[in-house]
Amino acid sequence: MKPSLPQGTRDFNANVIGKRNYIFNIIRSVFELYGFQPIETPAMENLDTLMGKYGDEGDKLIFKILNNGLDNIAKHESARQEFEKILQGKNTKGITERALRYDLTIPFARYVAMNHGQLTMPFKRYQIQPVWRADRPQRGRYREFYQCDADVVGSYSLMNEVELANIYATVFSKLGIGVEIKINSRKVLAALAEIIGGADKIIDITIAIDKLDKIGLEKVKEELAQRGLEEHQINAIEKYLAINGANEEKIIALKDLIGDNETGKKGIEEIEFVINYPKENFGVTSEIVTDFTLARGLNYYTGIIFEVKAKDAEMGSIGGGGRYDDLTGTFGVPNIAGVGISFGVDRIYDVMDELKLFPDNVAKSTQVLFFNLGESESKMAFGIMQQLRAKNIRCEIYPDQAKFDKQFKYAEKKDITYAIIIGTEEMNTNMVKLKNLQTGTQHNFAVEELFKFDF
């Protein structure tokens, strides 16, 4: 059979892993710098845990796992009946009761709900693990991809939002990616909907205006009309969308429009806090841009929302997050507020690769290759190699006795800097020959001297 990969999945070679780890390490170190601690959760969750948390579109993209034992003859009849429900688009435990996780936030909420008695609040955790979505793959979109999440639960303070924005700014500055950190509040969007008398249409409104920079004003208006908004409502939304300028100008204009609304007032205060707080307190603010068209698809957000876009690359968002005030409520533990952000490593990788932002030495390879020139020669080499390894120098020996040519080429392919050659001559004098393959220079060393060499 001809082997192949499932759609939207990838293998990673050593070079790619090196670059990915470079990104992971920077994100991880910044998370820890800000006091977040790691947890991990299983690849699969009970389907109940995930369903209904991501909206209708999201639910469709959850990978479901077929139950085992459906071929058990004793259960054939009930299995057939259960499958009828599947054909009608319903989920049923009789056929599938587990699913691959769709994101890291809901599993985290499940974790908090199960462990809140033991957790010290506010609880700050980070999590770096793959997630799966049954989406159609395309540029920057995969069916298996990594998310790096940092969340704080058990605190309503907006200082958390400030910290998370700082994490975004710090990570992307370390990675060398120029970004815009877009910020908005769901409360602002809610206020807009209330004011134009379409509170029940808030989802339709946000979905439509979220597309503004992609499809333009006219198309957004068309879509609003299609979604049942009336003309005077659309005109009001148009005014809202026309807001632009620097952050301060935008906020003034926004106050003018929705500042009298109680929800709107709160939303504006939130945004002002997150923007202004770091200015007075050595934070990173230059990348934060208010964007009142930002909506985000996930329907559990209730306050500040974030989204990060790379400035110099055509790519969807490379990070996103926001505040959710009652995520554990659906798991029976009410009143735990939370706020979090997420990094899309696979997209960050694509952006960095395109902009050539990876340093040269990210992929660590072997430092020293011992040539194999015969049985007794390789024995001596082996002994020396073990002693170098004890000094944390990455070594390997060519396993077969082979021509120089072949061993040199092997070293070259693996990007190995040093070759150590031990032949009969060297063996008889207890010397080794060390060759730098990049410069071509070589020297003889007494074995004792070699151990002092700075590789």
Interface positions with RNA (CB under 7 A): 4-8, 55, 57-58, 61, 103, 133, 135-143, 145, 147, 207, 210-211, 214-215, 296-298, 308, 316-320, 342, 344, 346-347, 373, 403-406, 408-409, 411-413, 421, 423-426, 433, 435, 437-438, 440, 442
Spatial contact of 296 and 305, defined as CB atoms under 8 Å apart: yes
Which residue, 244 or 424, has its beta carbon nearer to RNA?
424
Spatial contact of 238 and 217, defined as CB atoms under 8 Å apart: yes
Q: How far is CA 25 from CA 19, 144, 263, in A?
A: 10, 20, 40
Which residue, 291 or 426, has its beta carbon nearer to RNA?
426
* Smallest separation (angstroms) from RNA to the CB of 322: 10
Which residue, 261 or 407, has its beta carbon nearer to RNA?
407
Which residue, 94 or 316, has its beta carbon nearer to RNA?
316
Q: What is the CA radius of gyration of the chain?
A: 29
Which residue, 119 or 212, has its beta carbon nearer to RNA?
212
The DSSP bridge pattern shows strands 123-132 and 64-65 to be unpaired
What residue type is assigned to position 399 of the chain? P
* Smallest separation (angstroms) from RNA to the CB of 422: 8
* Smallest separation (angstroms) from RNA to the CB of 282: 28
Phi, psi of 322 (to 5 degrees): 160, -175
* Smallest separation (angstroms) from RNA to the CB of 147: 6
Which residue, 205 or 234, has its beta carbon nearer to RNA?
205
* Smallest separation (angstroms) from RNA to the CB of 430: 13
CA distance 377 to 373: 6
Three-class SS of residue 431? Answer: strand
Q: How far is CA 70 from CA 64, 80, 97, in A?
A: 15, 9, 12
* Smallest separation (angstroms) from RNA to the CB of 6: 6
* Smallest separation (angstroms) from RNA to the CB of 390: 25
Q: What would the two tokens of residue 107 be?
A: 């599993």
What residue type is assigned to position 391 of the chain? K
CA distance 363 to 377: 30
CB-based burial of residue 267 (10 Å sphere; 0-12 exposed, 13-18 middle, 19+ buried)? buried
Which residue, 157 or 361, has its beta carbon nearer to RNA?
361
Phi, psi of 92 (to 5 degrees): -145, 140
